[in-house]
Chains A and B, each alone.
Chain A
Amino acid sequence: GENVEQHPSTLSVQEGDSAVIKCTYSDSASNYFPWYKQELGKRPQLIIDIRSNVGEKKDQRIAVTLNKTAKHFSLHITETQPEDSAVYFCAASNTGRRALTFGSGTRLQVQP
């Protein structure tokens, strides 16, 4: 089955700096890669996703890049703000098995 590894497990940045979270996946059939944000005590919520036919996708301060050859994808957050503090999860799935396999999460702390 799919295995998704995520690094780092914790990340602390100063407000205004950029943050990068990286994930690798094992199943070459995976073709859908979402990122979820979970604030303390809340449910995970989708923030951005990318399909395997696209190398990069941006949404305001958030971007995701995908390298299919190397089987890794990354989340980039620019101009971080205190409200970006949360746990971020990457995930992967394929058209045949739609259930998402999640990474272990990254706790991002943005220091004011």
Chain B
Amino acid sequence: NAGVTQTPKFRVLKTGQSMTLLCAQDMNHEYMYWYRQDPGMGLRLIHYSVGEGTTAKGEVPDGYNVSRLKKQNFLLGLESAAPSQTSVYFCASSYATASGANVLTFGAGSRLTVL
């Protein structure tokens, strides 16, 4: 049972290049999320999905696109990378308990540097 797996773990891009981060979960969770983590700014939500085929914008969606064609996968795309997108990206998935709690399981993170 791998949980949440992110690929790649590290990537260096030049300004203007594109790339896709892949997130895969094997827990049959309905909800999936992409966060970015920057020093002193906590975890900021980029996009999220409440089920297969759905996506929604978070706090900082500009410059990113997402797709959830399969329940277990959530892809984050950067069409034209900018230095401001240098960050650590975390994918997470969750289930909602009967009590309403929403427990997130995070992936190990992907460190992206844009030169």
Residues of A at the B interface (CB closer than 8 Å) are 1, 6, 9, 31-32, 34, 36, 42-46, 49, 51, 89, 93, 95, 98-105
New A-B contacts (19) at CB < 8 Å, excluding given A43-B90, A44-B104, A103-B42:
A9-B40, A31-B100, A32-B100, A32-B101, A42-B108, A43-B107, A43-B108, A43-B109, A46-B104, A49-B101, A89-B42, A89-B43, A99-B56, A99-B58, A100-B102, A101-B45, A102-B42, A102-B45, A104-B40
Contact A98 B90 (CB under 8 A): no
Other-chain contact of A102, B31, B40, B44, B101 (Cβ < 8 Å): B44
B12 in the interface (beta carbon within 8 A): no
Q: Mark B27-53, 1 if CB is under 8 A from A, else 0.
A: 000010101000011111100101000
B103 in the interface (beta carbon within 8 A): yes
Q: Which residues of B contact A98 (CB under 8 A)?
A: 31, 50, 94, 96, 102
B62 in the interface (beta carbon within 8 A): no
**Count of residues in B whose CB is under 8 Å from the partner chain:** 27
Closest chain B residue, CB of each to CB of A107 = B40
Contact A99 B48 (CB under 8 A): yes
Instruction: Give the distance to chain B from A62, nearest Cβ to Cβ, in Å.
Output: 16
Q: Which residues of B contact A99 (CB under 8 A)?
A: 31, 33, 45, 48, 56, 58
| CA gap between A103 and B90 in the complex, in Å | 16
Residues of B at the A interface (CB closer than 8 Å) are 31, 33, 35, 40-45, 48, 50, 56, 58-59, 90, 94, 96, 99-104, 106-109
Enumerate 20 A-B pairs (CB-CB under 8 Å) in ascending A order.
A1-B59, A34-B102, A34-B104, A42-B108, A43-B90, A44-B90, A45-B106, A46-B103, A51-B99, A51-B101, A98-B94, A99-B31, A99-B45, A99-B48, A99-B56, A100-B45, A100-B104, A102-B45, A103-B42, A105-B42
| CA gap between A102 and B48 in the complex, in Å | 14
Closest chain B residue, CB of each to CB of A36 = B104
Other-chain contact of B42, A6, A34, A46 (Cβ < 8 Å): A6
Closest chain B residue, CB of each to CB of A45 = B106
| CA gap between A9 and B107 in the complex, in Å | 24
Instruction: Determine which residue in A9, A51, A99 has the highest number of CB atoms from chain B within 10 A of its CB, and name it.
Output: A99
